Structures are given as C-alpha cells and as structure tokens.
A and B are shown apart, each in its own frame.
Chain A
C-alpha cells in the first residue's frame, strides 16, 4: 500500500507528538540550545518544532541556536500565576531571524536593543547583557 494513499490504512495513521516530554531546545549531554531547521524549506524555530509551520514538513533537524542576539523588550514580573516572583522575561531577536522568549538576568543594566548573549547551565538557561556574559566566562 502506498504511504501516500488517503484514508485510514493501518500502519499509516498519524501518531501523536510527545511534545510535552521535551525540555525545549535542550539536547541531553550537550551544553548549548538547539533550534529546529526544516530540511525542506529552511524555516527555523525556537522552541524546536516537529511540524514546520512554513511548509508543514516533518523533516526537522536540530541545529545550534545562535548565542548572540538583541533584546527587543523585557519586563520584571512581580505578580505571576506561573512561577515564583520576581523574574525578568524578555524577547531576544537572533541573527538568523528567530525570536526567543527567555529569562533575562541583570535588570538594572537592561534596555531595549541591548546586545545580549545566551548563558546555558545544566538546569537553566537565560540571556544576559553581552559584556556581563563575557565577564562571567573570563572569571
């Protein structure tokens, strides 16, 4: 039976995505974060996608997320039903066109359009002012 035949052929049923089991963008044993890149159309996304929203392709490969970006906007959250406060959220635009919602560290020095860098730790990741990230690494 052709895999492209329409209908309810056994063995060709759509399977559910185990998308709730992901730690989005983390690959076990690897330090950085990964985004998805569609093999068919090249569209990138973070968190990584299983189905490409640009072309509906399913051949998506993990590729390293760029670590340098620009802080589009941010906010220190003082009241939240989602997690313990305070924390800082921001949108970071990466050079490959992907926007990432991220925790941001370093409230006092933050500003829109600030260059920021990704910091990954075993159990968390965040973006911080580019100079701050370098200082941390130098130490």
Chain B
C-alpha cells in the first residue's frame, strides 16, 4: 500500500530560547494539518522524533493541539530521529494500521548553551573525549590525505550551503560566506573550522502521511513515498575506512532498490552535511558520483542550481541548521515543498524525484548509529 505526504511544515530554524518543545513543534504541526486539509480527529497515530525533549515530548505537543486517544510513540535515533518518525508514520500507513499519521521532529539545542552536542557518557570513546566534530575532523583529515586535496575543497561545501541558505527564509544562516572566511573562522577540530560545522539551534518540523484513499479526498498536493529505509550501524573492533561509511552506502542501496530508481534519476537531495566533509563523503555513499570523485563533483557545480542534482537547496544542516531530532523531518518538508512547487526562491524547477538522507550518532565501533534514507516522487 502506498503512503503519501499531503502536508508539511516547519518553523524557521534558529535560536528560540523562549520556546518549549511544544512551543517549537505545535505551530509546525498546526500548519501541516491545515495545509493538508486534514482534521486532527482523522489522525490514527503520532510519531515524534527528538533526542533531548525528555519524557512524553510527543504527547505534550499533541496535547496542546487537542490530539488524543491515539497511539503517540516517541522515537530517539540521534540525527535520524525525525526521519525515523517519518518512517514509522509511513510504515503505519503502508501496513494498513493508519489511514493518516503524523510525524514530528523537534529538538532544542540552545538548552545546552552552545558548544558540542552532549554525547552518552557510557560510551568508551566519549569518555576519552570523542565529540562529533572530532569524529568528522578525523574523517576530513583522512580525506585530505588520501585524496591529495587541500582544505579549500572542504570550504567550498560551506560556501555552497550558505549560498543556498541565503535563499531560504527557514534557514538559521541566511548570509553568504567566502572560502577565505570559512578557512579563517576559528578552529573547532582540525581541520574543521567554525563555519564548517552545523550551528547550535532549535527547530521543529511536521509531515502528514496518508493512504491513497485519504489522499484522494484531499485537495492538497501530494508526494508519494517510494522508499523508506532505516539502518543501524554494524560494530567492528578493527579497521574501518572512514571515507566509506557503510551504513550510508547500505541504506542508499536499499532505498534505490525499494524505489526502483537510481541516483541519476534524482532532481533534488537533502543530505546529512553536519560538517563539510560529510557532504563530500555522502556524495559517494549515495552514488551521486563515483567513489573517489566527490571533490571534483562538488567544484564542477554539479550539486548546485543548474547542475545535475541540487544537493541541499535548503542550505542543509550547515546553513539551515541542525536541531538533531528535527532535521530528518525538516528534510522531508523541504523535499515536499520542492516536489509540489512550493519552495519559493530556492525551488528546483520541475523537480520530480527527491532523496533525503540523515545519519547520526557518535558511538564507539560504528561509523554511525542510525541512518535513514527516503525517496519521494511528485504525484
């Protein structure tokens, strides 16, 4: 049974210290329901992805919108939390358990003041001082070493992200930067500088997922879910190629198989650029370019407006922002807008097929703990 997105909304990402988790998410949910034209009483299930909201975050949001007497499930999957909520909503509809389901992603990182994301202290690598920028920095160092390129290539990822974000009223950063500014910003974890790292911010996003029967009753434009894939990482105590994150390779492979499409068919991609190096590595993992070719692929302009496939037209996590549990749902919203022609100044013209990818978690022995890939098609 097919599942469709028929309504999607987010709040502008940024620092919203005066807002609770409910304050962040309720406006996005309300707008998504309104745009879908769906009565809240028609919802059969709610899934809420977040990492730092505490107990019953989904219920606290649903409560303020008068949504009750339905199963509300809170899901935690680090950066993939919001996307996991979307996947659970899609599964509920595909499996016939729900005709209409709501997926929410929300997180508030300003509660920590700033700096690096607090990771789980049980983890032996975290106890040694592992933080997310350090993990990606080691990946970046290895990339520069093996590919024999300079940090200017990394900087170009931020330049593109900020250029895209400058067109996005939902982005935390809406100003452009130069490669020189990126490289001159203060060091976070060498070789990554401040402008190569996603900012601390707050955000929320929501999507309404429905069956074909419900979709036909609604006037809202719809997007078909062609693939919805979630993987966990696989532990190893030995060597791991940090330029070849297997969790993303495997998730993308399964998503293309489920959708019956290939990377070359995509018009628009929102991928997990939490740090500059991530975008380069994930071009290869998602099959957008051959392994080893990501630096040239970026600098050729293939991944910006007018290129082969527009990657992160929202500005991505680097410019739009990355409130961990919100990001996967926000990616789905962004793609819904592009595939239904509602993306405004950053619209990818004629976009028919879009892919969303988030992968997260600093966890010893794995490349990442979770990875979600969705492929959506214009109806």
Contact check, A90 vs B126: say whether CB atoms are below 8 A apart.
Answer: no
Name the 9 nearest CB pairs between A and B, nearest first. A75-B137, A73-B138, A112-B145, A45-B237, A73-B142, A97-B238, A76-B190, A81-B116, A75-B189
A53 to chain B: closest CB distance in Å?
6
B302 interface residue per 8 A CB criterion: no
Contact check, B141 vs A74: say whether CB atoms are below 8 A apart.
Answer: yes
Tell which of B124, B240, B365 touches A24, judged by Cβ atoms closer than 8 Å.
B124
B130 interface residue per 8 A CB criterion: yes
* Residues of chain A lying within 8 A (CB to CB) of residue B146: 112
Residues of chain B touching chain A, judged by Cβ–Cβ distance below 8 Å, are: 112, 115-119, 122, 124-131, 133-134, 137-139, 141-142, 145-146, 186-192, 235-240, 242, 364-365
A62 interface residue per 8 A CB criterion: no
A133 interface residue per 8 A CB criterion: no
Can you list 30 contacts pairing A with B, beta carbon distance less than 8 Å? A24-B124, A24-B127, A43-B237, A47-B124, A72-B138, A72-B239, A72-B242, A74-B138, A74-B141, A75-B141, A75-B190, A75-B192, A76-B187, A77-B188, A78-B187, A80-B131, A80-B134, A81-B112, A81-B119, A81-B131, A82-B119, A87-B129, A89-B128, A97-B239, A99-B238, A101-B125, A101-B130, A101-B364, A112-B142, A112-B145
Complex: chain A residue closest to B194, CB-CB: A79
* Residues of chain B lying within 8 A (CB to CB) of residue A97: 237-239
Residues from 1 to 59 in A contacting B, C-beta threshold 8 Å: 20, 24, 43-47, 49, 53
* Residues of chain A lying within 8 A (CB to CB) of residue B139: 73
Residues of chain A touching chain B, judged by Cβ–Cβ distance below 8 Å, are: 20, 24, 43-47, 49, 53, 72-83, 87, 89-91, 93, 97-99, 101-103, 111-113
Complex: chain B residue closest to A82, CB-CB: B129
B132 to chain A: closest CB distance in Å?
10
* Residues of chain A lying within 8 A (CB to CB) of residue B189: 75-79
Tell which of B112, B130, B191, B236 touches A82, judged by Cβ atoms closer than 8 Å.
B130
B277 to chain A: closest CB distance in Å?
11
* Residues of chain B lying within 8 A (CB to CB) of residue A83: 129
Q: Apart from A24-B124, A77-B131, what 17 extra A-B contacts exist at CB < 8 Å? A: A72-B239, A72-B242, A74-B138, A75-B141, A75-B191, A75-B192, A77-B188, A80-B129, A81-B116, A81-B118, A81-B119, A81-B131, A89-B134, A91-B242, A93-B238, A97-B237, A102-B128
* Residues of chain A lying within 8 A (CB to CB) of residue B240: 99
* Residues of chain A lying within 8 A (CB to CB) of residue B145: 73, 111-113
Complex: chain B residue closest to A45, CB-CB: B237
Complex: chain B residue closest to A44, CB-CB: B237
* Residues of chain B lying within 8 A (CB to CB) of residue A78: 186-190
Tell which of A20, A76, A99 touches B237, judged by Cβ atoms closer than 8 Å.
A99
* Residues of chain B lying within 8 A (CB to CB) of residue A76: 187, 189-190
Q: When chains A and B are docked, how far (Å) is the Cα of A20 from the Cα of B117?
A: 22
Contact check, A53 vs B130: say whether CB atoms are below 8 A apart.
Answer: no
Most buried by B among A44, A45, A46: A45
